[in-house]
Amino acid sequence: MKFYFTAIILLVVFMCFAQNVKGYYVTVNGTRTEGYYKPANFFNENNLYFSTSDTGTEYKKIDPALITEYGAGNDGVFKKYTVNLDDSKLMGTDVGNKKMPVWVSRTVFLNVVVSGEASLYSYLSDKGTKFFYEVADKNTGVNQLVYKQYMVNQSNIGENNQFRQQLFNDVNCDGNGVSKFANLKYNQSDLEKIFTRYNTCKGGKEGTTELKVSSSQRAKFSFTVLAGVVNENITTTNPRYPGAKDNKVVFTGGLESSFTLPSKKISFFFKLLYQDMSSTSTVNYASTSRASTEIYTINASLVNAYLGPRYNFHIGKQHTVYANAAFRLFLPFGTSSHKHITTNDLGTVSYSDKVSLKEQYLYSLGVGYMFGGKYGIEVNYDAPTKLKGADLSTIKLNTVAVNLRYKLF
């Protein structure tokens, strides 16, 4: 029952996350229409559904042949150009042996990465992410920045780094020497810096990054370390004896990997967190003829594994607030024990019982904040955990965790 309840929770959350995306498109005759897109991979212009109503009840598929530009909220601006495109595979172990580009003429939608006096575009294909550029005051037109790997022989791979010479010739405002371009990598981060610097030098805006994507894949994989504290509220009940409560704060830490879709709004994450669960609670009570003591002990540590979706609310370029829900595997390593001691006129009698703790399947909810894409803080609420303890006892664990986050990549 708990599994199905968790599955329903995740389904509802995911459906809520799949919101309409505000956007626009421009037709070939220059008419601009604003409305809402159905959530999609916006790098694929052949799968765009648009509605002028925010209810999304009347989606119509957009014909790419009839538009010249489209944009989806903060997710990106795409413009149509007819360009010469290198049809070679960008990199890998199965590239060909041709050093020079294999040019083909294609009409494609390019994603605007930086706009200004010098503009940078990206194009995602099954042969890799390729970059294009245009410099207005040099009338360059839109050309591809050339980079490709090729087989020198059966065991060696060479590189055609013509893009460095192109940038040196066309996007070099402050007279930098060749050495400034010699070590550039063919990725969005390095290229964006060059174009931003050029536009600033020309006295214009620093450039507008419309959408950042990995240079080699459509979605982004990241790896994050976490460390924080957990407030543990442990309540033990027993049908035959008085129960006990224990409340404490323990340290926690772990790792998270996440996969973010190109829109940057929806992610899927897998997280592992370790924490200590050890606890000892003592209850003393007496009647007219005897005195008794109950000692409830948990000697265990645990690993929480989380898997679920996350929705990211981007506030400018530096701030992100997110909310997530997850399926949670509660995996304890250790035991629960109960010791009963009774003292009366005849002496002292005691007995004890011990059992191993078992895994549980639950759900978890969380919210968080990230600054600059690197540093963050999050608060997680885990559904109460009920465990079978020693001597017919029941252990209920309630936790709220606060974690600091640092994204490695």
For position 183, what pLDDT does the model report? 87
For position 215, what pLDDT does the model report? 36
Going by C-alpha positions, the residue among 395, 299, 294 that lies closest to residue 352 is 294
Task: Render each residue's pLDDT in the chain as its tens digit; 409 residues.
Answer: 455 455 545 555 554 445 567 789 999 999 999 888 887 778 888 888 888 876 556 788 999 999 999 988 665 899 999 999 998 888 877 788 888 999 999 999 999 999 888 999 999 888 888 999 999 888 888 999 999 998 888 888 889 999 999 999 998 887 777 888 888 999 988 999 899 888 888 876 544 444 333 333 345 788 999 999 999 888 888 888 888 888 889 999 999 999 888 667 888 999 999 998 888 888 888 887 888 888 888 888 889 999 999 998 888 778 899 999 999 998 889 888 888 788 887 777 777 787 888 888 888 999 999 988 889 999 999 888 888 877 778 888 888 999 999 998 8
For position 204, what pLDDT does the model report? 65
- The radius of gyration computed from the CA coordinates of the chain, to the nearest angstrom, equals 30
For position 74, what pLDDT does the model report? 60
For position 213, what pLDDT does the model report? 38
For position 160, what pLDDT does the model report? 92
SS3 letters for the chain?
CHHHHHHHHHHHHHHHHCCCEEEEEEECCCCEEEEEECCCCCCCHHHCEEECCCCCCCCEECCHHHEEEEEECCCCEEEEEEEEEECCCCCCCCCCCCCCCCEEEEEEEEEEEECCCEEEEEEEECCEEEEEEEEHHHCCCCEECCCEEEECCCCCEEEECHHHHHHHHHCCCCCCCHHHCCCCCCCHHHHHHHHHHHHHHCCCCCCCCCCCCCCCCCCEEEEEEEEEEEEEEEEEECCCCCCEEEEEEEEEEEEEEEEECCCCCEEEEEEEEEEECCEEEEEEEECCCEEEEEEEEEEEEEEEEEEEEEEEEEECCCEEEEEEEEEEEEEEEEEEEEEEEEEECCEEEEEEEEEECCCEEEEEEEEEEEECCCEEEEEEEEEEEEEECHHHCEEEEEEEEEEEEEECC
For position 54, what pLDDT does the model report? 63
Structure tokens at 348: 């002292």
178 CB-side CA count, 13 A: 4
Give the Cα separation of 149 and 158 in Å (integer). 6
Residue with tokens 């629960």: 336
Neighbours of 255 (CB within 10 A): 14
For position 2, what pLDDT does the model report? 52
